[in-house]
Structure 1
Amino acid sequence: MNKRPFDPRTDKIVTVTLDPNTITSVDPDEVHEWRVASYDLIDSNTFYPARVSASGPYALHLSIIANHIVLDVRDPETFRPIAAHYLSLTPFRSLIRDYFRVRESYYQAIRSASTYQIEAVDMGRRGLHNQAAQLLIERLENKLVMDLETARRLFTLICAVQPYAARIPETESELPTVLFVCSMNSVRSPIAAALARKRFPGQLVARSAGVRSGKADHFVHQVMEEVGVDMSVHTPHTMDELMASKFDLIITLAPDAEKAVNERGLEADAIIHWQVNDPSENEGTRESMLSAYRELRDDLDIRLRNSLPKFIGQSDARA
């Protein structure tokens, strides 16, 4: 394939999100490392998916399935899927191990070594990055096109997220599964799923989806940040993108969601509907909007704390 010249206006990643179901950690230092690596990639990159007609800029959503990093390229405004590629981690295992070893040596050198020693370790670190970046470009040939510096930054992000991946596929997990569905997977259902994961870590698998595709909502990011939940990793998904059709519990949060679940034939041991307000429909000042989003967040939190312990207990009893 003949690579076209990069267009700096469109051939770039402007949003990076991580799948909270497969990239998991409650350690603030680890989450901080993901954020720094994501920001570095967004700050400077040249990138476009090959063999597609869609033009950029792009959003990049990362998830981990078994031994693969999924590089899911989407429209940054609508999160409409553009291209997705599975990248095997096997060829990168030794490079990832070396990355952490060399990184630790570099940190130790900064604390106590001479300038010459620091420069020597840094040279080795750069050489490792270049080797990994070149391999990344080769493995993604005819799939995703990027320059060497972008590949270096993407490799750093992959290193940051892969040690903390949830390695058990959901289809093999014995944890109870709950699906939250609203209209556009922008506000109600992602907040509910994030709060469920926060309140009951390691006790359930919480997914969310929309009847149709929506946009990321920055009010959601702000009010969830207030309770220690990073929602910048959320990418809106539709019900068509669900990997499973059977759940232990489905909770619908909008009238059209209730109807869509029935029409699409999703199966569950229990399907319940919660009538909750959509704060994005409110009009008013920024503060009044934030107040409406906080009310939704707190309402869902109360409902989850009251309802899910019984659901988890019933699932344990059936196991």
Structure 2
Amino acid sequence: MTERLYDVTLDTGGARAPAPELEQEQRVAVFDLLEENHFTLPDAPQGPYALMLGRAGRKLDFRLSTKAGQDAAQFTLSLGPLNQVVKDYSHICESYYEAVRSKPPAEIEALDEARRAIHLEGAGMLREVLAGKAEIDGDTARRLFTLVCALTAQD
């Protein structure tokens, strides 16, 4: 299948390493993303694509190339529309990780459900922000949202 990502690299710009829990989520998201994804670029060379995802100030920087090394697309997206949901997700994750260490299972489960709901909301917003630049499915959006959160957590 050519409408997909075959490689994903995060450009952290030398930022500090994320918390261990976030770093693990990042590794899992990249692994799952490479296992299965749908990523189409309108008016671009045919994929599959390598994605370099980074930050450019208060924007996300997407740089995509083909397996042959040909530039496929480069664009930036404002983090503005995603700021609140990323912040909410970050806070609920902190609460969840703390709860895992010391809280009863019912509280952990409630936080995990809230965490998943916010994550799903963020993935939907990411799909909307990418509209016209890239077409992605829900699973791809969820995994990319995890990577966006990893990049913003390193501020």
Q: What is the TM-score of this pair, normalised by structure 1?
A: 0.44
1:39 deviates by 2.6
Q: Which has the higher contact order (CA 8 A, sep 6+)?
A: 2
Verify the 8 A CA contact 1:24 1:164 in the aligned structure 2: no
Q: Does 1:58 align with 2:49?
A: yes
Verify the 8 A CA contact 1:47 1:144 in the aligned structure 2: yes
| Matched pairs, number | 153
Aligned identity (percent) is 37
Q: 2:77 is paired with a residue of what secondary structure? A: strand
What 5-or-longer segments of structure 2 have no aligned partner? none
Amino acid of the structure 1 residue aligned with 2:2: T
Alignment of 1:212-227 (within 5 A): none
- Report the Cα distance in structure 2 between the residues aligned to 1:90 and 1:28, rounded to whole angstroms: 22
The residue aligned with 1:270 is: none
Alignment of 1:18-57 (within 5 A): 18-19=10-11, 23-27=13-17, 29=19, 32-33=23-24, 34-52=26-44, 54-57=45-48
Verify the 8 A CA contact 2:18 2:154 in the aligned structure 1: no
Tell me which of 145, 149, 154 is aligned to 2:139. Answer: 149
Verify the 8 A CA contact 1:23 1:164 in the aligned structure 2: no
- Report the Cα distance in structure 2 between the residues aligned to 1:128 and 1:159, rounded to whole angstroms: 12
1:26 deviates by 4.9
| CA displacement, residues 144-171 of structure 1 (integer Å, 9 cap, x when unaligned) | 1111111111011011012336xxxxxx
Change (3 A) 1:105 1:44: farther
1:43 deviates by 2.8
1:36 deviates by 4.2
Question: Over aligned residue pairs, what C-alpha RMSD do you find?
Answer: 2.2
- Report the Cα distance in structure 1 between the residues aligned to 2:128 and 2:13, rounded to whole angstroms: 25
1:29 deviates by 5.0
Q: What is the TM-score of this pair, normalised by structure 2?
A: 0.85
